[in-house]
Chain A
């Protein structure tokens, strides 16, 4: 599907559910506030951001070397390394690894990369059962919805929504929306899968070139169970997740959870390096558009992202439209600058789903200039003819009008034009949108220019 995402329409539906939007906005603002407190407690926070940014910049500009170093180390550790050019290759590799070993079931922790690759339906169509073991991701799997947030996948749902999903899919009491009851029900139904699954999978928060270690940060321990119980472990890793050395991890681990949730560190920071005796460890390094992005002069900076979600939590637009309104794996500000690299036309509206307020850029722990990139994407989208026709025409007309003092004056001074005509010109058309939920400014008796000529103009 190539049709542009109608973010405005989707957000309108989200806003109509008043309990949901209020909770969503409050919950994520709470995370932003906790993040502020956590970062304020570290005097060198702004220096850390600079350091983290520099490490990522260095790595990305030497990426091939570090990837090969990682591969050598991982192989020396006893892991098998696979390279996937795109999503299709990634899915095929995972399937082949499992099929060759007769593996029929997969327990996995949360991985945006596997969502990006649409791996779950691919494996399920081939008879492999896939069980998400992260609570939020599991809720979304059971409800047949993609995650709406990269860190808290079901944040758009109220606990009563979860009770409904679990009642429908796990047979729990539909009237009991107690959080502990729901979490415990999910645990009880998911735990046996860890013991019976043929294979386990994780993504990676970081992959260390120097040691070949895969580092996974979680709060639920589900990644560790997914890795340590089955006899086959597969890690899917985007190539931008590489960092050079273990010592660099200290910088990122200090920042990741503080930025994401306002907590000093995730409950678990697990380093998976060497397969246990009698088991196998496979690592799939995935490009899927990343190398192309790395070659984009204005946009390669987005590859520094450590997926903390701080930009989403702070984004006033995201909080009031919900992640699903972006119609993409990655939503919010970071999604809006990554998604167009996958499909410019389909995601052409997303860089406009922003007021360019700049809050995202300033909470980003790796100093991605997110709102500058949004601005630049807008230029690219217009240049490549991916703007709606009406909007393009409005801008052309606006440009002509504002380039001509005479035409401009006719527009702003025409008798009675104020209320009817002006908002259209100055609010850039889209009939009636301004006045739907807002009053239109009243036209004054005269423009400032007219006032000036009357009061200050020399004869």
Chain B
């Protein structure tokens, strides 16, 4: 299967290991992965700030980079959510529609499209607190949410449960937003940081050695909070754990 790898800007710049793990994981399952070299960002930062017209250039570039592929996979739910639901600053040509309809967040691509359930190379003998970012949870619906009366399900948990030796910690408020929220993290810094502190302390209190998530932006924020609080807690993207990272 031919797949185009979408590496969101902040992952490209700060967390190349996450992109490498995503790439290797897809290749382990036989995907032929291309990385369009002129990609930058999906346009979400501007659109979420109300400046959707300023996102038009980034959105057009995104479509130019990815229009030629059957599947577009990125390790970030909020970026994929933007592409799928909100990439509307440019005319909706067939190319644009194709890109929007075929953009997948990594967990849903593994779980739903590839349908994989085994990760025999992966072993992670640690206690993990799973963080579902809000875009994954309430927009892409990769897990059930506590707000709704619905049958419990969790695609990330299903995948992680196949990893040898892994244990899970149960925080008191697993669904609560961690307070990143893109530009919110700087324009509403006091509340954002407080939410982050509460989040990492909840996981720490539950005994988590690692916080693992399919959303690196949440983790970037939580990691910054935990380091400031000097909490002995580490952070990994779900791609790294599924790809068999050894710690």
Residues of A within 8 A of B (CB): 7-8, 11-12, 15, 21, 25, 29, 36, 39-40, 42-43, 45-46, 314, 316-317, 320-321, 351-359, 361-363, 375, 377-383, 387, 391-392, 395-396, 398-405, 408, 412, 418, 422, 426-430, 433-434, 436-444, 446-453, 456
Residues of B within 8 A of A381 (CB): 50
Among the 9-residue stretches B91-99, B111-119, B154-162, B177-185, the one with 4 or more Cβ atoms under 8 Å from chain A is B177-185
Q: Does B52 make an interface contact (CB < 8 A)?
A: yes
Give CA–CA (A36, B173) in the complex, Å.
13
Closest 10 CB pairs of A and B: A403-B57, A355-B181, A438-B224, A399-B54, A378-B50, A382-B50, A362-B147, A358-B138, A437-B193, A357-B177
Interface size on B, residues (CB 8 A): 74
- Docked Cα-Cα span, A81 to B190, in Å, equals 47
Contact B58 A375 (CB under 8 A): no
List the one stretch of B38-46, B123-131, B203-211, B238-246 in contact with chain A: B38-46
Known: A46-B149, A320-B191, A321-B191. A441 touches B224 (CB 8 A): yes
With A359-B175, A418-B13, A439-B227 as given contacts, are A427 and B50 in contact (CB-CB < 8 Å)? no
Instruction: Determine whether the beta carbon of A11 is less than 8 Å from that of B188.
Output: yes
Chain A interface, >50% SS class? helix
A396 and chain B: residue at smallest CB distance: B54
Hey, which chain A residues are within 8 Å of B45, CB to CB? 395, 398, 402, 426, 428
Decide: A440 and B224 in contact? CB cutoff 8 A.
yes
Query: Which residues of the other chain, B, contact A317 by a CB distance below 8 angstroms?
Result: 188, 191, 195
Q: Give me 12 A-to-B residue pairs in the complex whose CB atoms sit less than 8 angstroms apart, sorted by A's number.
A: A320-B198, A354-B181, A355-B181, A359-B145, A362-B138, A399-B54, A402-B57, A412-B9, A429-B186, A433-B187, A439-B224, A456-B35
**Complex CA distance for A449 and B12, rounded to whole angstroms:** 7
Q: Contact: A441 with B57, CB < 8 Å?
A: no
Collect the chain B residues with CB atoms within 8 Å of residue A361's CB.
138
**B residues bordering A, Cβ < 8 Å?**
7, 9-17, 19-20, 35, 37-41, 43, 45-46, 48-52, 54-58, 60-61, 86, 134, 138-139, 145-150, 173, 175-177, 179-198, 220-221, 223-225, 227-228
Contact at B193–A438, with CB atoms within 8 Å?
Answer: yes
Q: How far is the CB of B214 from chain A (nearest CB, A)?
A: 15
Q: Are A403 and B61 in contact (CB under 8 A)?
A: yes
Report how far A357 CA is from B177 CA in the complex, Å: 6
- Who on chain B is nearest to A452 by CB? B35
Bound CA span A15–B198, Å: 12
From the candidates A43, A352, A355, A399, name the one contacting B55 in the complex (CB within 8 A): A399
Q: Are A387 and B9 in contact (CB under 8 A)?
A: no
Highest count of chain B CB atoms <10 Å: which of A358, A363, A377, A404: A358
Complex-state Cα separation, A433 to B12, whole angstroms: 22
Across the interface, do B186 and A427 meet the contact criterion of CB distance under 8 Å?
A: yes
A392 CA to B51 CA, complexed, in Å:
8
B51→A439 contact, CB < 8 A: no
Chain A, Cβ-Cβ closest to B177: A357
Indicate if the CB atoms of B223 and A434 lie closer than 8 Å. Answer: no
The answer on a CB contact under 8 Å between B146 and A320 is no
A355-B189 contact, Cβ under 8 Å, with A379-B52, A403-B60: no
